[in-house]
Amino acid sequence: MTTESDLKKAGFAEVTASLQTILRPYEPHLVLQASSEKGYSLNTRYIMKNGQPLFFGSVQPQKNYVSFYLMPVYVFPDLLQGVSAELRNRMQGKSCFNFKVIDAALFNELAELTRRGFEQYQAAGYI
Protein backbone atom coordinates (compact mmCIF):
# COMPACT_ATOMS: atom_id res chain seq x y z
CA MET A 1 0.00 0.00 0.00
CA THR A 2 1.36 3.41 -1.02
CA THR A 3 1.28 6.00 1.73
CA GLU A 4 1.18 9.78 1.43
CA SER A 5 4.74 9.81 2.72
CA ASP A 6 5.82 7.45 -0.10
CA LEU A 7 4.20 9.71 -2.70
CA LYS A 8 5.91 12.77 -1.19
CA LYS A 9 9.30 10.99 -1.27
CA ALA A 10 8.79 10.00 -4.92
CA GLY A 11 7.86 13.58 -5.83
CA PHE A 12 10.82 14.96 -3.92
CA ALA A 13 13.12 12.52 -5.74
CA GLU A 14 12.03 14.10 -9.03
CA VAL A 15 12.51 17.61 -7.64
CA THR A 16 15.93 16.61 -6.31
CA ALA A 17 17.01 15.15 -9.67
CA SER A 18 15.78 18.23 -11.53
CA LEU A 19 17.62 20.62 -9.22
CA GLN A 20 20.80 18.54 -9.49
CA THR A 21 20.79 19.07 -13.26
CA ILE A 22 21.31 22.78 -12.55
CA LEU A 23 24.57 22.10 -10.69
CA ARG A 24 25.95 19.18 -12.72
CA PRO A 25 27.42 21.30 -15.57
CA TYR A 26 29.78 22.89 -13.03
CA GLU A 27 31.05 19.59 -11.63
CA PRO A 28 34.11 19.43 -13.95
CA HIS A 29 35.28 22.80 -12.61
CA LEU A 30 34.56 22.12 -8.94
CA VAL A 31 35.04 19.39 -6.33
CA LEU A 32 32.24 16.87 -5.92
CA GLN A 33 31.78 16.69 -2.16
CA ALA A 34 28.73 14.41 -2.04
CA SER A 35 26.48 12.58 -4.46
CA SER A 36 23.92 10.24 -2.93
CA GLU A 37 20.22 10.07 -2.16
CA LYS A 38 21.00 12.20 0.90
CA GLY A 39 22.35 15.07 -1.19
CA TYR A 40 24.56 16.46 -3.90
CA SER A 41 27.22 19.04 -3.06
CA LEU A 42 29.99 20.96 -4.85
CA ASN A 43 32.90 22.90 -3.35
CA THR A 44 35.54 25.04 -4.98
CA ARG A 45 39.25 24.27 -4.74
CA TYR A 46 39.74 27.66 -3.09
CA ILE A 47 40.78 27.20 0.54
CA MET A 48 39.50 29.82 2.97
CA LYS A 49 41.37 31.19 6.00
CA ASN A 50 39.74 28.54 8.19
CA GLY A 51 41.35 25.81 6.07
CA GLN A 52 38.05 24.69 4.52
CA PRO A 53 37.17 24.80 0.83
CA LEU A 54 34.76 27.51 -0.29
CA PHE A 55 31.31 26.00 -0.79
CA PHE A 56 29.57 26.48 -4.14
CA GLY A 57 26.19 24.77 -4.02
CA SER A 58 24.15 21.73 -3.11
CA VAL A 59 20.79 20.02 -3.33
CA GLN A 60 19.50 18.53 -0.08
CA PRO A 61 16.22 16.61 0.23
CA GLN A 62 14.46 17.49 3.48
CA LYS A 63 11.32 16.09 5.10
CA ASN A 64 8.90 18.62 3.61
CA TYR A 65 10.81 20.11 0.65
CA VAL A 66 14.05 20.00 -1.31
CA SER A 67 16.65 22.70 -0.59
CA PHE A 68 18.93 24.24 -3.21
CA TYR A 69 21.89 26.06 -1.65
CA LEU A 70 23.83 28.57 -3.75
CA MET A 71 26.70 30.18 -1.83
CA PRO A 72 27.60 32.78 -4.49
CA VAL A 73 24.41 34.71 -3.61
CA TYR A 74 25.65 34.89 0.00
CA VAL A 75 29.16 35.97 -1.01
CA PHE A 76 27.86 38.38 -3.67
CA PRO A 77 24.34 39.52 -2.60
CA ASP A 78 24.12 41.80 -5.66
CA LEU A 79 23.46 38.62 -7.68
CA LEU A 80 19.93 38.70 -6.26
CA GLN A 81 19.14 42.04 -7.89
CA GLY A 82 16.45 41.47 -10.47
CA VAL A 83 15.45 38.05 -9.14
CA SER A 84 11.71 37.48 -9.44
CA ALA A 85 9.44 37.78 -6.42
CA GLU A 86 8.43 34.16 -6.99
CA LEU A 87 12.00 32.93 -6.62
CA ARG A 88 12.65 35.23 -3.66
CA ASN A 89 9.58 33.73 -1.97
CA ARG A 90 11.36 30.36 -2.13
CA MET A 91 14.33 31.72 -0.17
CA GLN A 92 15.03 30.69 3.37
CA GLY A 93 18.01 32.50 4.79
CA LYS A 94 20.58 34.14 2.54
CA SER A 95 21.50 31.32 0.15
CA CYS A 96 18.81 28.62 0.31
CA PHE A 97 15.82 28.07 -1.98
CA ASN A 98 13.15 25.49 -1.08
CA PHE A 99 10.90 23.60 -3.49
CA LYS A 100 8.15 21.01 -3.12
CA VAL A 101 7.38 20.55 -6.82
CA ILE A 102 9.16 21.05 -10.12
CA ASP A 103 8.58 24.56 -11.44
CA ALA A 104 10.22 24.90 -14.86
CA ALA A 105 10.15 28.71 -14.91
CA LEU A 106 11.70 29.03 -11.45
CA PHE A 107 14.23 26.29 -12.15
CA ASN A 108 15.27 28.11 -15.34
CA GLU A 109 15.67 31.34 -13.37
CA LEU A 110 17.66 29.46 -10.72
CA ALA A 111 19.87 27.96 -13.43
CA GLU A 112 20.62 31.45 -14.76
CA LEU A 113 21.36 32.68 -11.24
CA THR A 114 23.69 29.71 -10.75
CA ARG A 115 25.50 30.51 -14.02
CA ARG A 116 25.98 34.11 -12.95
CA GLY A 117 27.17 32.98 -9.53
CA PHE A 118 29.70 30.65 -11.11
CA GLU A 119 30.98 33.46 -13.32
CA GLN A 120 31.24 35.78 -10.30
CA TYR A 121 33.25 33.13 -8.40
CA GLN A 122 35.53 32.80 -11.45
CA ALA A 123 36.03 36.57 -11.67
CA ALA A 124 36.91 36.68 -7.96
CA GLY A 125 39.52 33.93 -8.42
CA TYR A 126 37.63 31.29 -6.41
CA ILE A 127 37.50 28.93 -9.40
CA distance 16 to 23: 11
Per-residue confidence (pLDDT) for residue 3, from 0 to 100: 38
**Under 8 Å between Cβ of 33 and 41:** yes
Q: What is the pLDDT of residue 2?
A: 37
In the chain, the domains with their CATH numbers are 4-123 (3.90.1150)
17 CB-near residues (< 8 Å, 6+ apart): none
pTM over 0.75: yes
In the chain, which stretches have pLDDT less than 70?
1-11
What's the confidence (pLDDT) of residue 75?
97
Give the pLDDT score at 10: 56
Residues 45, 52: Cα–Cα separation, whole Å:
9
